[in-house]
Structure 1
Amino acid sequence: MYRIDLLPAEYGDAIWLEYGQGRRINRLLIDCGTAAVYPRIRERILALPEGQRHFELLLVTHVDLDHIGGALALLRDSASLGVSFGEIWFNGYMHLSPGGVVPAAADDTLGPLQGEELSDLIVAHGRQCWNAVVRGGALLVPEEGPLPQLSLPGGMRLTLLSPYQEQLDALRPAWEAACRKAGIVPGVATADDASRLEEDDAAPEDDDLLGDPDPEQLAARPYKADRARPNGSSIALLAEYGGRRALLTGDAFAEVLLASLARLPGNGGGRLAVDACKLSHHGSRGNTSSELVRALHCRDWLVSSNGKQFRHPDGEAIARVLRDGGGDVRLHFNYRSEFNEMWSSSALQRRHRYTASYPASDAGGIRLDLSRRRLR
């Protein structure tokens, strides 16, 4: 059994993975969306029997409000929930410098800001589990040599694809602003500076189309790569279990993903076969290039966004998947919104040989069962 739940996370990510055999189920949680959606994650955890509220891994991909907000609430609430984590992965301030590790001394944990709340909460949970798989160091891809492959109990293999040191270097001078943006300085959000809590994105483009969108026209628009430093620092993984592969991209840069995919063993320049790919940065036009789509042989493409804030997914990103994805692709959205509704057109699906799936309600999210290759 290997299944992926894209939980309702507003305009962020909250990915619940389960894998295992028989009655033995292992779990991972990748990001937790915004703070506003944490109650749904809490309900999901409370629905588990008390003795099964353990996750092999909690991964916080990077410091942005729509990925970290719910994780802060979860860690504050972990004791009352009776939830535990085998490891917690997150690149903190100390990891942005080459060779930086989680300090052993209790008085030398925080980064440049007093009240760096996520670091505090991880330490309170147990500093020994923080990036333990790399002995407290940074989770990053080396410039040369094999990509890091990390194993979890139960047989899950995770291959690290992002970030490189270059992306961590770029984030370092912007760390304070990124932390403020993520809301991890208690009390910082005031009426005067609340807008600083949100990430920047390219201005939306009007399609100037009546009726169904034109994927060829959208895909042909010039590609402009994302350069947001928090996004570049995002931890991205290839998650393999039971002969199935899922590409979990966070908000990583397309160019970084491409560079890492080319280094995978046995990838001789052809399309890498993956069973599912979550579009980076919620289907942003700046994180889904035609080159990245062409590098993958994938039928199931997942999008996590309700369109709030940045109107994701961008039409260009979806159009590149349809044009360059090899045909017969399946789009899976964890919300139905005015920004993805156009892809439900039956005529458009027939013409461009794809299917589009949506949850029955905004509270549902989506589940992709890789072991059975079906969505419910």
Structure 2
Amino acid sequence: MFKLHVIQAEFGDSMLIEYGSRQSPKYFLIDGGPSDVYDNFLRSELENIVGASGTLDVVAITHVDIDHIKGILDFLAELKSQSDNGKEHFLKVKDLWMNTFSGTIDNDGAMTKRINTIFSNAASNNVNMASTGIAINGIKEGNKVTTLCNVLQIPINTPTVQSIFRVGSPNAALTYGNLTITIVGPTKENLEALKTEWEEWITARENEMGAGNFNILSMSDKSIPNLSSIAFLIEGNGRSMLFTGDGRGDHLTEGLKKKGLLNNGRMHVEVLKVAHHGSDRNTNRTFFENITADTYVISANGKHSNPDYATLSWIIESANEAGRQINLVVTNDTASTKRIVNDYNPAEFGYSITFISNIKNSIEI
């Protein structure tokens, strides 16, 4: 058995893999969505699918952005509350995967201190740096997850080298029951480049503050670098699923290449979780021409215009020109999905599009 339950996560991500045998199923949770997703959707799905006193073999947080980590934090907080009240955990967790900011690019904590100083000085000068605030919150939430795991005695990053998931750490594919999991991102080079980006971003903001250019500080807020996502290929029962987090298409392609998974620069999987909620800033048409799938999963609700119309058109056009019939599974019907169906007739262009029902909390693939 190898199923994917795509959970309603609003503008974030949350997915549950069900594998093993029907008589003895196993579970792998990927991300938990933003605030309220745990209470409104995820918790009930965990109870319905995993069942009371069940076990999650892995809880994977692809990266520490709020729209991926908050639901996991809420889940762990509930487990701690149950412990504090002498109750048995309603679910058990064997291992948690997460690349923290400190563990990957800020080993001595110096960057975090400098970012906090920038944010505080901006606030003191009435400059709203919302994106920086979100990044700081994500870093803090990652630290909270680590603390809760330590209290709950949940191991973190057990299969890795130096507690970091990246290509080469672990080097060999992982085996979980009938599944084989290969880490395809980030690469060591991605993390080194990300560290350089953060250093440059911090230094530039410090220079702006030093010169008193607080208007420029506000304008440059949205340029803040994103933490590289853990990306992995899962194979089992003759099927394959590629999970991308919020990774960039070129980074994902390079990771797949390093692991020897490309054939003449191309790869086909049964299911592709489209990166960054279908944002056109993370990929391009060439990516979808080279990395193809039967089913494309997009978790988005229209916030930040996700999924972008361009991304949907690249997927549909590249598949149609190659003569491939595809399925789009999108968690919510948005302005861009309505427009794409109007502009690209599904019958003519050879695709179907499915959304999570209003009366359900997930859709099964």
Considering the TM-score relative to the shorter chain, is it more than 0.5?
yes
Asked whether the equivalents of residues 343 and 349 of structure 1 are also in contact (C-alpha less than 8 Å), the reply is no
1:229 corresponds to which of 225, 228, 242: 225
**What is the Cα deviation at residue 125 of structure 1?**
2.5
- 1:373 corresponds to which residue? none
Change (3 A) 1:168 1:362: farther
Q: How does 1:290-301 map to 2 (within 5 A)?
A: 290-301=285-296
- 2:351 corresponds to which residue? 354
Change (3 A) 1:147 1:154: closer
- 2:46 corresponds to which residue? 45
**What is the Cα deviation at residue 98 of structure 1?**
9.7
Letter in 1 for 2:183: L
Q: Deviations over 1:95-139 (max 9, x none)?
A: 215999xxxxxxxxxxx9799312211222226x11011155210
Q: How does 1:279-290 map to 2 (within 5 A)?
A: 279-290=274-285
Q: Secondary structure at the match of 2:13?
A: coil
**Distance (whole Å) between structure 1 residues aligned to residue 287 and residue 170 of structure 2:** 18
Structure 2 spans left out of the alignment, 5+ residues: 83-88, 109-138, 203-217
Asked whether the equivalents of residues 2 and 19 of structure 2 are also in contact (C-alpha less than 8 Å), the reply is yes
Change (3 A) 1:9 1:114: closer
**Distance (whole Å) between structure 2 residues aligned to residue 8 and residue 155 of structure 1:** 26
Q: How does 1:180-199 map to 2 (within 5 A)?
A: none
**What is the Cα deviation at residue 9 of structure 1?**
0.5
- 2:238 corresponds to which residue? 243
**Distance (whole Å) between structure 2 residues aligned to residue 14 and residue 364 of structure 1:** 11
**Distance (whole Å) between structure 2 residues aligned to residue 30 and residue 42 of structure 1:** 14
- Residue 347 (structure 2) pairs with residue 320 (structure 1): no
- Residue 166 (structure 2) pairs with residue 140 (structure 1): yes
1:125 corresponds to which of 152, 155, 162: 152
% identical aligned pairs? 23
Asked whether the equivalents of residues 5 and 362 of structure 2 are also in contact (C-alpha less than 8 Å), the reply is yes
Structure 1 spans left out of the alignment, 5+ residues: 101-111, 179-195, 201-226, 369-376
**What is the Cα deviation at residue 163 of structure 1?**
0.9
Letter in 1 for 2:349: H
Asked whether the equivalents of residues 63 and 69 of structure 2 are also in contact (C-alpha less than 8 Å), the reply is yes
TM-score (norm 1): 0.73
Change (3 A) 1:259 1:167: closer
**Distance (whole Å) between structure 2 residues aligned to residue 113 and residue 355 of structure 1:** 40
**Distance (whole Å) between structure 1 residues aligned to residue 267 and residue 246 of structure 2:** 20
Letter in 2 for 1:125: L
Change (3 A) 1:42 1:136: farther
Change (3 A) 1:133 1:355: same
- 1:263 corresponds to which residue? 258
- 1:339 corresponds to which residue? 336
- 1:103 corresponds to which residue? none
**What is the Cα deviation at residue 313 of structure 1?**
0.4
Asked whether the equivalents of residues 32 and 69 of structure 2 are also in contact (C-alpha less than 8 Å), the reply is yes
Change (3 A) 1:296 1:114: closer
- Residue 177 (structure 2) pairs with residue 154 (structure 1): yes
- Residue 56 (structure 2) pairs with residue 55 (structure 1): yes
**What is the Cα deviation at residue 304 of structure 1?**
0.4
Asked whether the equivalents of residues 257 and 265 of structure 2 are also in contact (C-alpha less than 8 Å), the reply is no
**Distance (whole Å) between structure 2 residues aligned to residue 11 and residue 72 of structure 1:** 17
Letter in 1 for 2:310: E
**What is the Cα deviation at residue 165 of structure 1?**
2.7
TM-score (norm 2): 0.75
**What is the Cα deviation at residue 13 of structure 1?**
0.2
Q: Secondary structure at the match of 2:232?
A: strand
Q: Deviations over 1:331-369 (max 9, x none)?
A: 11111222322234496112322111122217433211x
- 2:72 corresponds to which residue? 71
Change (3 A) 1:121 1:324: same
Change (3 A) 1:342 1:130: same
Asked whether the equivalents of residues 185 and 230 of structure 2 are also in contact (C-alpha less than 8 Å), the reply is yes
**Distance (whole Å) between structure 2 residues aligned to residue 265 and residue 28 of structure 1:** 25
Which of the pair has more CA radius of gyration?
2
Q: Which is richer in helix?
A: 2
**Distance (whole Å) between structure 1 residues aligned to residue 266 and residue 237 of structure 2:** 20
Letter in 2 for 1:55: L
**What is the Cα deviation at residue 50 of structure 1?**
2.5
Asked whether the equivalents of residues 309 and 340 of structure 2 are also in contact (C-alpha less than 8 Å), the reply is no
Q: Deviations over 1:140-166 (max 9, x none)?
A: 114xxx983442431321111111234
Q: Deviations over 1:264-287 (max 9, x none)?
A: 436331531200101100000012
